[in-house]
Homo-oligomer: A and B are copies of this chain.
Amino acid sequence: MDLKPTKPLSGFIELTPTQQRCFDVCANRMQNVLRGAGYNRIDLPAIERAEVLTDKDNWDEIETQMFLFQKADTKMGLRYDGTVGLSRYVAGHLNSLVFPFRAYQFARNYRGERPQRGRYREFYQMDIDILGIENLSENYDAEIVATLLRVYDSISEYVGGVCVKIGNRRFWNAMFEYLEMDEKQCRDSFILIDKRDKIKDFQDALAEIIGNDKAQIIEDVFAKGYKTFDGKSEKLSQAIAEMDEFMGILKSMGINNAEIDVSIMRGHSYYTGIVFEFFSTKFPELPAIGGGGRYENLASKFSKTKIVGVGASVGISRLLVSLMDENKIDLSEFEKNIDVAVLVMGKQNVQYAMSIVSKLRDNGIIAVPYLDTDKKFKNQIEYADKIGARFSMIIGDDENQKQIVALKNMESGNQDALTLEDAIKNIKVK
């Protein structure tokens, strides 16, 4: 019989136990920050009705982006982001949720596209949102950014620091209005500004759309600073004041790694105000490692109630898994996670050894017994070494009879005959 393949499908992630421990510690810290800021975890189904996931009918096209299937008469598929499910959930629980409602998701999403380097077909993403009915103060935009900075900070010892760049869609709307641009010009200029970093002759390209004079004025935003447009129109002044207030709140919270960068646009068309992107300062070669912004009418397809919000998402797998795969995270502290290997010499000592394992665990000590009792000492100590145990505890006839333990420090090699109480004290000193 042919053996089946042991590799996962391409684009799917499989971590080593050591990598997984790092991932889990990071995931836990990040979520603790969100719980500490009063966010409710929402754990939504991975499968949604096809009509919830998409408005399109052209399945051939959609299938390249999504995992879709049919059970009985129902077309369904795997979620591709956190927004669709959240919209449905909030619309369905309008009466039981308290608004402004704080939600976070830490969940797997799925993309049907052919996998590329660093692009996964199954990946963890963290979504955080604050939602209001009808309206929501812009002050929350600053709070969500401050909270996310704290989230990144909680794992900075592994992934390094971050900075955040803040843009404002309303600034550009005001600018385009001030320059009396038509709808097509606005749309095309928007796309150009979004890609400004990647375009060689930005100003020339812009001039082709809106003419030299106006292109020069937009270039001035970058060359002379957006603040020089204060007073040019009421809406421009308002948008600039909005950014000032935003930065003022961050400053009051002790944050100094945030800056205004009006070239930040975020592709999604649903953003309507402040937008922001997080960048790694340790790994500047990475694209944005998270971002979000203000949106209006999140759940218009599910409810007549207008739900306004500010939200952000962090590509957890994209950040952590790719860094781990490239050996850019020091995993040494995750390699050794066992305190004691309990080695048992002879089956007559199993019960005594297991009573000790139980007491070690009662004391919060990570204890792993080696229970193939007929294996030689050499093999048993090799096991203790391989699992990275800090200590091994050797239980033989002598220890059993005297009701003591032999505690061996795996680094120094020192071995002592001790009472269990004293052994526990030794183990607890890290």
Contacts and interface: CB of A to CB of B under 8 A. Distances in A.
Interface in A13-67: 13-17, 20-21, 23-24, 35-38, 40-49, 51-52, 63, 67
Given A76-B9, A254-B358, A38 B3 contact: no
A364 interface: yes
Interface string A104-146: 0000101010100000011000000000100111011011001
A361 interface: yes
B366 A122 contact: no
B366 A35 contact: yes
Interface residues of A, number: 103
Interface in A82-114: 88-89, 91-93, 96-98, 100, 102, 108, 110, 112, 114
A252 to B, nearest CB: 4
B89 A14 contact: yes
B9 A48 contact: yes
A14 B45 contact: yes
Interface in A122-174: 122, 132, 135-137, 139-140, 142-143, 146, 150
Contact of A252 (B112, B301, B338, B351): B351
Contacts of A222: none
B45 A143 contact: no
A354 B143 contact: yes
Given A6-B302, A69-B67, A38 B150 contact: no
A16 B96 contact: yes
Interface stretch (A258-266, A284-292, A369-377): A369-377
A17 B40 contact: yes
B304 A3 contact: yes
B253 A136 contact: no
Contacts of A41: 17, 20-21, 24
A5 interface: yes
B9 A358 contact: no
A178 B87 CA distance: 64
B350 A139 contact: yes
A41 B17 CA distance: 7
A7 interface: yes
A89 to B, nearest CB: 7
A254 B359 CA distance: 10
Interface in A349-407: 350-352, 354-355, 357-358, 361, 364-373, 383, 386-387
Contact of A9 (B1, B4, B16, B47): B47
A24 B48 CA distance: 22
A8 interface: yes
A143 B249 CA distance: 54
Given A49-B9, A366-B35, A253 B142 contact: no
Nearest to A363: B36
Contacts of A114: 72
A248 interface: yes
A371 B139 contact: yes
A402 B23 CA distance: 45
Contacts of A122: 45-47
Contacts of A365: 36
Nearest to A89: B14
Given A4-B51, A37-B361, A139-B373, 19 more contacts: A1-B301, A5-B88, A9-B45, A9-B48, A9-B76, A16-B93, A23-B43, A35-B337, A46-B108, A47-B110, A47-B122, A71-B112, A72-B114, A139-B369, A146-B354, A146-B358, A249-B350, A252-B351, A254-B355
Chain A to chain B: the 4 pairs with minimum beta-carbon distance, closest first: A6-B92, A38-B368, A139-B371, A252-B351
8 contacts: A8-B45, A8-B48, A9-B74, A16-B96, A20-B41, A38-B387, A139-B371, A140-B371
